[in-house]
Amino acid sequence: MKIAIVGAGIVGVTTAYELASDGHEVTVFEQRSAAAEEASFATAGLLAPHLLSPWAAPGFGHALRLIGPHATLRLSGGLSRANWAWLSRWRSATHASSAPAAALERLAQYSQSRLQTLVHRHELDFEASEGRLVLLRTEQERDLLQPALQVLRDSGVALREVTANVARQIEPGLSPEAPLAGAIHLPDARAGNCRLFAQLLRQGTQGSGVRFAFNTRIDRIGANPAGVVVQGEPDLRRFDAVVLCAGTASAALLPALGLRLPMAAVYGYSVSAPLRESTHAPQASVVDAAQQISITRLGQRVRIAGGAELAGADAEHHTATLQRLYRTLNDWFPGGAQLSSGVQVWRGARPLLPDGAPVVGASGVPGLWLNTGHGAGGWALACGTARAVADLIAQRAPEVPLDGLGMRRF
C-alpha cells in the first residue's frame, strides 16, 4: 500500500518504521525541517511504567488545581470556550477515575517491549537508563498514589514501597537534607532521549520504504479518495491510507471531515543541563510526586521536566515555573548539574485528550487512521501504538488490546 503519515514526531517516525517493515511505501509529511522538532524535542524522557509519570492520566496521584501556589495547571491569557470544555471533561475523568488506566499501562509495557526489539535489532544508543524512584515528601502522598499502584500491580509491574534510607541507597546522590518520607521503587522502569531515538530511527528508515517530506504543511485530508492536500498545491495527492500522527495539528484537520477530538495543548517545560558531579546527580530517573516534576539522567546531562499551562504556542516562558524546576533539582540533587552554562530551556505542547489516553485506530472515515493525542505519554506509548496501527491497517489483530482507546469514546 501507498501510505501517507502526517507528523514526524516520535509517533510519526515509529509508525513509519512499522508500516515500512510490513512492506508499505510510506511518505511522512512534516511542517518542520527535521524529525522530533515539536512535542518530541526535549521531553522528560520517561518510558514505562507510565501511570506514575506526571500528567499520565486524570484521577491518579493529584487532583487538578487551577489556583493558588500549588496549582497543577496554570491558565494564561484567559480561558477560551474550548479550553473550558476540555477542563470540564478532564475534571469529570478525575473525579470518576474513568481514565483507561489499565489499558494505558498495558500499552506502555507493550511499547517498551517493542522499543527494546528495535534497539537490539538496529543497535540504537539513545542514552537509556534503568530504574526509577517516585519520591514522597509525606505519607499523604503515598496514600494518594495507592490507586495507581494497584493498577500497576494488577498489570504485573514490579514495584516496591521503600523507606527513605533505602531510597538514598538506590540513588546515592539524593540530598540528605531533603525531607523524604519514602519512595516507590520501579526497578524495571526505563528512560531515554526521545528525540535522539527518533532521529536514529528516521535515519535507519530513510531509503528503505520511507520518504520524509520536511518543511511541508498539510492543509487538508482527502476522503473518497484518501489523500492529502499540501499547502500551496491545488490538487490532492492520492494515497491508499493516511495516518494522522501530528498531535494538536491532527485535531485541526479533522473537523473538515466531520470529526472532532477534544484535544488541548497543555504546555510543559524542561531544563537540560550538563552533568557537573556524577555522584551528586541521579543515576537514572526520579519523580517528585508532589511537584509533578521529573529529574532524569540522559548521558552526560540532567533533564528536569514539569509544569503545565494552557496558553498559546508563542507565550513567553513562565519564570515562576522555571524557578520551581531549578528549586526542585536543588532540593534533591544539589551540585549534580552545571547550571551556569550550556543549559537548554524548552517549552513544548502535550497534545492531551480529557482522559489522558491517545486515539489509536480507525477514524470512521475510509482510508483515514488515527495515532494521536498521546499527551505526556508520546515517548512511552509510541512504539506500541505504531505497531498496533500497522497491524490494524494490515487487518491483523494487534498484540495488545486497545479497548477504550478508539475514536468512539468521543
Question: Does residue 295 lie in a domain region?
Answer: yes
User: Are 204 and 182 within one domain?
Assistant: no
Same domain, 245 and 371: yes
61 belongs to a structural domain = no
Domain boundary among 333, 352, 371: 352
For residue 2, what pLDDT is reported?
97
Query: Which 8-state DSSP code applies to residue 54?
Result: T
Q: Are residues 88 and 167 in the same domain?
A: yes
What would the DSSP string read from start to end of 223-291? TTTTEEEETT-SSPEE-SEEEE--THHHHHHSGGGT-----EEEEEEEEEEEBS-GGGS-SSEEEETTT
Residue 97: which pLDDT band, with cuts at 50, 70 and 90? Answer: low
Do 371 and 358 touch, CB atoms closer than 8 A?
A: yes
**184: containing domain:** 74-98+130-189+263-352
What would the mean pLDDT of 50-64 be, rounded to a whole number?
A: 80
3-state secondary structure 361-386: EECCCCCEEEEECEHHHHHHHHHHHH
Do 102 and 155 form a contact (C-beta atoms < 8 A)? Answer: yes
Res 75: pLDDT: 83
170 and 185 assigned to the same domain: yes
Same domain, 383 and 401: yes
* pLDDT tens digits for range 190-218: 999 999 999 999 998 877 889 999 999 99
Look up the CATH number of the domain holding residue 404. 3.50.50.60
Q: Which of 323, 330, 401 is nearest to 361 (CA)?
A: 401
Q: Is residue 166 a part of any domain in this protein?
A: yes
Query: For residue 61, what pLDDT is reported?
Result: 60
Mean pLDDT of the chain: 93
Q: Does position 78 have pLDDT exceeding 80, yes or no?
A: no
pLDDT band at 80; cut points 50, 70, 90? confident
User: Could you tell me the sign of the dihedral formed by the alpha carbons of 175, 193, 99, 396, in that order?
Assistant: negative
Grid-cell match 490494524, residue found: 392
CA 178 to chain centre: 29
Residues 6+ apart with CB under 8 A from 62: 72, 144, 289, 290, 292
Residues 349-374: pLDDT tens digits?
999 999 999 999 999 999 999 999 99
End residue of a domain, out of 352, 368, 400: 352
Residues 214 and 317 in one domain: no
What are the grid coordinates assigned to 154, written together? 494488577
In this structure, the answer to whether residues 376 and 301 fall within a common structural domain is no
* Distance in angstroms (rounded) separating the CA atoms of residues 362 and 378: 19
Is 140 part of a structural domain of the chain?
yes
156 and 20 within one domain: no
Longest dimension (CA), the chain: 66
**Considering the domain boundaries, does residue 60 fall inside one?**
no
pLDDT at 3: 98
Domain count of the fold of the chain: 2
Which of 335, 352, 369 finishes a domain?
Answer: 352
The CATH number for 143's domain is: 3.30.9.10
Q: Write the DSSP symbol of residue 46.
A: B
Q: Is residue 336 part of a domain?
A: yes
Whether 163 is covered by a domain: the verdict is yes
Confidence of residue 41 (pLDDT cuts 50, 70, 90): very high
pLDDT higher than threshold 60 for residue 98: no
Kindly state the average pLDDT of the residues 324-339: 96
Q: Kindly state whether residue 113 falls inside one of the protein's structural domains.
A: no
From the number of C-beta atoms within 10 Å of its C-beta (0-12, 13-18, 19+), residue 220 rates as middle
Check pLDDT > 70 for residue 63. no
240 vs 83, residue with greater confidence: 240
Confidence bin at 67 (pLDDT 50/70/90): low
Q: Report the candidate in 281, 287, 278 with the shortest Cα–Cα distance to residue 333.
A: 281
Q: Tell me, yes or no, whether 208 and 173 share the same domain.
A: no
- Same domain, residue pair 173 and 277: yes
Q: Do residues 225 and 319 both lie within one domain?
A: no
The reported pLDDT for the residue numbered 57 is 83
Q: Are residues 387 and 332 in the same domain?
A: no
